[in-house]
């Protein structure tokens, strides 16, 4: 599986490709609305977040849907797989929710944002970070859902975040061409980089 990749298509399908020979190995077309997010949860499993307000776990070898989470998942905006068993879901209701993929059970709610959550990710064994349309970046204690720090970014158009070393993150903004590096210890932006494009929607 190391030479394959997954792509999403406009026709609401998911395809698995072999990069060596450009062969389409598998195509999933079952029960998909608009696809919001896809993440690999193990060497042979995908987690797919869809606009039909479901989370589905798929076997990449067989194309079989192994599990469906659809209990109280209204308004999902983003997803982050934090282990082989657990995922974080950011929502239009301003909250972040921790779900157990193995049991299908809800475990914990993180509340504190005052507008929709655009991105959430795990940055250490016990901390997660999120960004929201409320112009803030928040650092949370994973095991207790306590908000440890709030950073006012002054920008409601912050769209995506990703982790860097030394307790720093990088953010993108869809209304300008800047990506910004934030020091989570100090709660400040320490660097801005103009990438000379109209907007930045994704970070890797």
pLDDT for the residue 11: 57
Asked if 158 and 135 touch (Cβ cutoff 8 Å), the reply is yes
Could you write out the DSSP letters of every residue in 165-186?
Answer: TTTEEEEEETTSSEEEEEETTT
Q: What is the DSSP letter of 155?
A: -
Cα separation of 116 and 139, whole Å?
Answer: 16
Residue 1 pLDDT more than 50?
Answer: no
pLDDT for the residue 129: 97
The domains located in the chain, with CATH, are 71-204 (2.130.10.10)
Give pLDDT tens digits for 138-185. Answer: 999 999 999 999 999 988 778 889 999 889 998 987 777 788 999 999
Predicted confidence band of residue 190 (pLDDT cuts 50, 70, 90): very high
pLDDT for the residue 93: 93
Give pLDDT tens digits for 77-112. Answer: 899 999 989 999 999 999 999 999 999 899 999 999
């Amino acid at each position: 599986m190391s030479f394959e990749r997954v792509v999403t298509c406009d026709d609401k399908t998911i395809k698995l490709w072999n990069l060596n020979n450009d062969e389409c190995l598998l195509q999933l077309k079952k029960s998909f609305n608009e696809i919001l997010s896809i993440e690999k949860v193990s060497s042979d499993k995908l987690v797919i977040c869809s606009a039909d307000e479901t989370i589905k776990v798929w076997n990449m070898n067989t194309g079989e849907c192994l599990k469906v989470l659809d209990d109280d998942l209204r308004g999902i905006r983003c997803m982050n797989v934090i282990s082989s068993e657990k995922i974080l879901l950011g929502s239009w209701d301003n909250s972040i929710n921790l779900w157990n993929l193995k049991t299908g059970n809800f475990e914990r709610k993180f509340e504190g944002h005052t507008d929709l959550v655009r991105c959430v990710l795990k940055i250490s064994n016990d901390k997660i970070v999120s960004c929201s349309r409320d112009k803030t970046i928040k650092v949370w204690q994973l095991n207790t859902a306590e908000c440890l720090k709030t950073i006012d970014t002054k920008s409601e158009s912050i769209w995506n975040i990703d982790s860097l070393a030394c307790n720093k993150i990088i953010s993108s903004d869809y209304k300008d061409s800047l990506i910004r590096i934030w020091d989570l210890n100090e709660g400040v932006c320490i660097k801005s980089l103009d990438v000379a494009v109209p907007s930045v929607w994704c970070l890797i």
